[in-house]
Structure 1
Amino acid sequence: MLFPILLAIPAVAGPLPDPLPSPLEAGWQGEEVCELLSENAQLRTLRCTFPPGAGHERHFHAPHWGYAVEGATNRITDANGVREVTTATGGTWWSDGTAWHETLNIGDTTGVFIIVEPKAVRAGN
């Protein structure tokens, strides 16, 4: 019965920092967790790695497509509360963007995720 109670707890303990960092800028306990793989006028691609017990401090996401190179189980906290999400190796997702969230790898495997952020491109470019 503890899990339903956790969902009812407000996720924000205080005001959000302004501005929030992007996933590339946000880290975990002073360490980088994402690296820039490629960036051009159309896309930015990141690889984010989370060993067991590591997380990703509060940050925002632009719209993006994701791919789990190595799946993991994460505790995600956002404006909707706290939930546990297991992403299988090879899993993909699309996000229209996230105002803010933070994550913690609560599993026993290292999660490795590719994030591809499309950039706004005008027709003819």
Structure 2
Amino acid sequence: MKPYYIIIFLVLFSACKTVQTLPDPLEAGWEGKKVCEVLNETKKQRILKCTFPPNVGHQKHYHKPHFGYTLAGSTFQITDANGTRTIPVTTGVTWSKDKISEHEVLNVGDSTSVYLIIEPK
């Protein structure tokens, strides 16, 4: 193979693969402590349970496309690409993302909040 073909291949290959430098939600914690645990994991999906007492957050991390469900709500400060905002999250709220997302959160409410995160692999 000619050297310039190798260079073209490497440029195209590197453009297709984004290197993620942030931790995923399981790896990320708060002040050195884990906030998420694996409830179930298969070859096709992972289900996490994440618990945030008052004044506990989740360091900046990324999510693959996922579905989330709020088991117990509270009030959160969220920092992401859109800035920082404070929002009430009520019990039973669901959401989904169809692309990779990044954020940091902090429970600024007075009750413990619990979430399920369901990620396809």
Q: Higher helix proportion, which one?
A: 2
Structure 1 unmatched runs, 5+: 1-17, 120-125
Within 1, Cα distance between the matches of 2:87 and 2:39?
25
Alignment size in residue pairs: 102
Secondary structure at the aligned position of 1:101 is classed as: strand
The residue type paired with residue 34 of structure 1 is: C
Partner of 2:39: 37
Query: Which ranges of structure 2 fall in alignment gaps of 5 or more residues?
Result: 1-19
The aligned counterpart of 2:86 is 84
**Partner Cα separation in structure 2 for residue 97 and residue 39 of structure 1:** 20
User: 2:116 is matched with which residue?
Assistant: 114
- Runs of 4+ aligned residues of structure 1 deviating over 4 Å after TM superposition are none
Aligned residue for 1:57, secondary structure, equals strand
CA shift, 1:42, in A, is: 1.4
TM-superposed CA distance for 1:83, in Å, is: 1.0
* Superposed CA RMSD: 1.1
Matched residue of 1:77: which SS? strand
Task: Using the TM superposition, name which of 92-101 and 109-118 deviates more.
Answer: 92-101
TM-score, length of structure 2 as denominator length: 0.80
- TM-fit CA distance, 1:87: 1.5
- 1:55 Cα deviation after fit: 0.2
Larger-gyration structure (1/2): 2
1:67 to 64, 69, 88: 69
